[in-house]
């Protein structure tokens, strides 16, 4: 797999970026309630609550979506190795969360995951597979920890776990589908624009978190 | 290559739809008495089968059997290139599945004794469900070469544990027909997924199987982890353990107290 320099292929589609960036900033500023690099406090439920968790937090949603989008952009085996690696490593973070092992900076890590993954898509960063999987793995631990920390408090923890893993996987699949579709339009420029947009959104979560 | 070009003929699809409809009708009819008497999902005998964890394992087993003999790009190699033909391999997979289910029920005690050291085993169904899901997920996520070699080996224990998980999660408290209907439903679900996997010979189906497998592994590990973490501490004996020594093991303190009452 080729690994071109980051900067040599890093120009965003300028027209698209000009159009969408102000709109994105406006959307993010008008939705402060969505700033939830969230480890939910209080009572949690079963399957539906677990399913809802990655969907209800924009931070999780964007990062998961980026995993699929990045995989689709890289193409080849990355289309499936990345969405497979993510839940498998997420378990490690989940188990750490269940065990109550204190890890600092989880919410910062989640916000960074959006920035890095969005940036990787925007700059069309195609590192060797092992590097991309390592990047995914680090962030998967952060997201898994956030989910896992809630599990023991859930009314039905087992079904809660099933719910959030299935939802996470479905968001990956949505990312792959959108990514594969966008790759056919204007040489993947739309994917890059979307990645840039999401990456910028990550800065908001970093500041708000 | 488009996905549409890999889809089966209309008559085969019709047969599959009929199989699905017949099974759904049967499942629906089994729920009627519960609805009639105002019961809930937990009162439904098949709730132990039709739940997210069990369904994923059953779907995984179905895909595993249905995709037997397929290469990584979803093709079935010509007979002369493979030592055993793909259809025959699938039948062997079905046989191993049935043997595994039978062994799980026949060797229930030895298997449970083997799993007993798991923390909180007695209140977590000996983690039979999550382990069955884990084994199935592992078989599905393996690269094509490894999958061909290890599938049958992993289906056997997965099926045995699946049968045990079904028996241990019996919501009817040993109704005469429970195991018969539960196993029939499980086999129907596995058959539907196996047939779909057999019919759709496309690279995307193999990739889909792998993605499902990663979910199954993640869910099984989290499910198991959380069951052990939560249930182990949830059920604590609310009284001190009784002594098992003395003339009347377990009753000495009670007898002494009764003697005291007599004075």
Per-residue pLDDT of B165-220, as tens digits, reads 999 988 887 788 889 989 999 999 999 999 988 888 777 788 888 888 998 898 88
- Distance between CA atoms of B210 and B6, rounded to whole angstroms? 19
* C-beta neighbour count of B245 within 10 angstroms: 7
Which of the given ranges, A63-67, A144-148, B220-224, has the highest pLDDT on average? A63-67
> Which value does ipTM take for this structure?
0.71
CA B184 to chain centre: 13
Contact list in B for residue A98 (CB cut-off 8 A) is 222, 225-226, 229
What are the distances in angstroms from CA B3 to CA A107, B72, B200? 41, 15, 8
pLDDT at A74 over 60: yes
Share of chain B above pLDDT 70, in %: 85
Q: What is the pLDDT of residue B7?
A: 61
For the segment B232-245, what is each residue's pLDDT rounded down to a tens digit? 555 555 566 666 67
- Distance between CA atoms of A83 and B215, rounded to whole angstroms? 10
pLDDT at A120 over 50: yes
Contact list in B for residue A162 (CB cut-off 8 A) is 52-53, 56, 219, 223
Confidence grade of residue A39 (pLDDT, cut at 50, 70, 90): very low
Q: What is the mean pLDDT of residues B73-84?
A: 59
Q: What is the pLDDT of residue B35?
A: 80
More confident residue, A71 or B208: A71
What three-state secondary structure class fits B82? coil
Residue in B with minimal Cα distance to A158: B223
Interchain pair A90, B213: CB under 8 A: no
**From its phi and psi, is residue B240 left (phi > 0), alpha (psi between -120 and 50) or beta?**
beta
Confidence grade of residue A35 (pLDDT, cut at 50, 70, 90): very low
pLDDT at A113 over 90: yes
Q: What is the pLDDT of residue A115?
A: 95
Confidence grade of residue A29 (pLDDT, cut at 50, 70, 90): very low
Q: What is the mean pLDDT of residues A142-153?
A: 82
Q: What is the pLDDT of residue A45?
A: 66
For the segment B15-28, what is each residue's pLDDT rounded down to a tens digit? 888 888 888 888 88
Pick from A88, A90, A158: which is nearest to B226 by CB?
A158
CB contact A148 to B (< 8 Å): yes
Q: What is the mean pLDDT of residues A100-122?
A: 91
Confidence grade of residue A8 (pLDDT, cut at 50, 70, 90): very low
Interchain pair A83, B211: CB under 8 A: yes
Helix axes B128-141, B52-66, angle to 10 degrees: 30
pLDDT at A177 over 80: yes
- Distance between CA atoms of B86 and B80, rounded to whole angstroms? 11
- Which residue in B195, B247, B238 sits closest to B8, CA to CA? B195
Pick from B207, B218, B230: which is nearest to A88 by CB?
B218
Pick from B141, B215, B225: which is nearest to A169 by CB?
B215
B11 Cβ contact list (under 8 Å, min separation 6): none
pLDDT at A150 over 80: no
Q: What is the pLDDT of residue B99?
A: 97
Contact status, residue A139 vs residue A202, Cβ threshold 8 Å? no
Q: What is the mean pLDDT of residues B89-117?
A: 93
- Distance between CA atoms of A50 and B90, rounded to whole angstroms? 35
Contact list in B for residue A67 (CB cut-off 8 A) is none
Pick from A88, A148, A158: which is nearest to B217 by CB?
A88
- pTM, whole model, 2 decimals? 0.75
Pick from B56, B213, B229: which is nearest to A152 by CB?
B229
- Which residue in B68, B71, B82 sits closest to B203, CA to CA? B71
Confidence grade of residue A175 (pLDDT, cut at 50, 70, 90): very high
Share of chain A above pLDDT 70, in %: 76
- Distance between CA atoms of B61 and B49, rounded to whole angstroms? 14
Q: What is the pLDDT of residue A125?
A: 92
Q: What is the pLDDT of residue B4?
A: 55
pLDDT at B105 over 80: yes
Q: Where are the beta strands (DSSP E) in A4-130?
A: none
- Distance between CA atoms of A81 and A134, rounded to whole angstroms? 12
pLDDT at A70 over 90: yes
More confident residue, A164 or A62: A62
pLDDT at A4 over 50: no
Interchain pair A87, B214: CB under 8 A: yes
Interchain pair B225, A47: CB under 8 A: no
CB contact B79 to A (< 8 Å): no
Q: What is the mean pLDDT of residues A8-27?
A: 49
Q: What is the DSSP string of B167-221?
A: HHT-TTSS-TTHHHHHHHHHHHHHHHHHHHHHH--SHHHHHHHHHHHHHHHHHHH
Contact list in B for residue A169 (CB cut-off 8 A) is 211, 214-215
pLDDT at A153 over 90: no
Q: What is the pLDDT of residue B154?
A: 94
Contact list in A for residue B56 (CB cut-off 8 A) is 162
What are the extents of the domains in chain A? 58-208
* C-beta neighbour count of B155 within 10 angstroms: 26
- Distance between CA atoms of B219 and A153, rounded to whole angstroms? 17
What is the count of residue pairs from A and B with beta carbons less than 8 Å apart? 80
What are the distances in angstroms from CA B195 to CA A17, B13, B190? 47, 10, 9
Which of the given ranges, A19-23, A87-91, A205-209, has the highest pLDDT on average? A87-91
* C-beta neighbour count of B142 within 10 angstroms: 17
What three-state secondary structure class fits A58? helix
Within chain B, where are the H helices? 10-36, 52-66, 86-106, 108-115, 128-141, 144-168, 178-199, 203-234, 252-262
- Distance between CA atoms of B104 and B98, rounded to whole angstroms? 10
Q: What is the pLDDT of residue B77?
A: 59
Q: What is the pLDDT of residue B224?
A: 79
Q: What is the mean pLDDT of chain B?
A: 82
Pick from B52, B213, B229: which is nearest to A162 by CB?
B52
What are the distances in angstroms from CA A34 to CA A58, A62, A89, A116, B191? 6, 12, 26, 20, 43
**Which residues of chain A from 54 to 83 reach within 8 Å of chain B, CB to CB?**
79-80, 83
Interchain pair A94, B214: CB under 8 A: no
Interchain pair B211, A91: CB under 8 A: no
Give the DSSP H or E segment for A160.
helix A157-183
Contact status, residue A121 vs residue A78, Cβ threshold 8 Å? no
Mutate to test the interface with B, among A50, A81, A84 (most CBs of B within 10 A): A84
């Amino acid at each position: 797999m080729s690994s071109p320099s980051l900067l040599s292929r890093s120009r965003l589609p300028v027209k698209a970026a000009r159009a969408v960036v102000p709109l994105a900033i406006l959307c993010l500023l008008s939705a402060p309630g969505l700033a939830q690099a969230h480890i939910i406090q209080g009572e949690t439920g079963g399957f539906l609550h677990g399913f809802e968790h990655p969907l209800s937090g924009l931070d999780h949603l964007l990062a998961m979506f980026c995993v699929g989008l990045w995989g689709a952009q890289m193409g080849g085996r990355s289309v499936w190795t990345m969405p497979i690696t993510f839940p498998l490593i997420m378990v490690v973070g989940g188990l750490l969360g269940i065990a109550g092992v204190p890890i600092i900076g989880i919410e910062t890590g989640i916000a960074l995951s959006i920035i890095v993954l969005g940036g990787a898509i925007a700059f069309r960063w195609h590192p060797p597979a092992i590097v991309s999987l390592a990047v995914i793995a680090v962030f998967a631990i952060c997201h898994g920890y956030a989910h896992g920390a809630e599990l023991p408090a859930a009314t039905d923890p087992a079904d809660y776990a099933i719910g959030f893993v299935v939802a996470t996987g479905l968001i990956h699949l949505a990312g792959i589908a959108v990514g594969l579709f966008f790759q056919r339009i204007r040489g993947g420029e739309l994917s890059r624009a979307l990645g840039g947009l999401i990456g910028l959104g990550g800065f908001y979560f970093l500041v708000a978190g | 290559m488009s996905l549409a070009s890999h889809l089966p003929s209309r008559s085969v699809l019709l047969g599959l739809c009929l199989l699905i409809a017949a099974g759904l009708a049967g499942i629906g009819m089994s729920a009627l008495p519960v609805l009639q008497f105002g019961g809930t999902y937990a009162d439904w005998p098949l709730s132990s089968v039709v739940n997210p964890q069990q369904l994923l394992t059953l779907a995984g087993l179905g895909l595993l059997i249905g995709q037997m003999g397929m290469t990584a790009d979803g093709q079935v190699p010509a007979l002369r290139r493979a030592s055993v033909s793909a259809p025959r391999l699938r039948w062997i997979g079905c046989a191993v599945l049935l043997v595994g289910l039978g062994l799980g029920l026949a060797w229930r005690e030895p298997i449970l004794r083997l799993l007993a050291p798991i923390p909180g085993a007695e209140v977590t169904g000996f983690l039979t469900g999550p382990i069955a899901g884990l084994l199935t997920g592992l078989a599905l996520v393996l690269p094509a070469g490894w999958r061909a070699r290890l599938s049958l080996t992993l289906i056997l224990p997965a099926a045995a544990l699946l049968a045990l998980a079904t028996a241990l999660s019996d919501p009817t408290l040993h109704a005469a027909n429970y195991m018969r209907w539960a196993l029939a439903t499980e086999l129907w679900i596995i058959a539907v997924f196996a047939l779909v996997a057999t019919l759709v010979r496309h690279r995307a189906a193999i990739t889909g199987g792998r993605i499902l497998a990663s979910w199954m592994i993640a869910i099984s590990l989290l499910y198991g982890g959380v069951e052990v973490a939560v249930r182990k501490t949830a059920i604590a004996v609310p009284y001190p353990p009784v002594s098992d020594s003395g003339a009347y093991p377990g009753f000495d303190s009670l007898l002494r107290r009764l003697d005291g009452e007599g004075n």
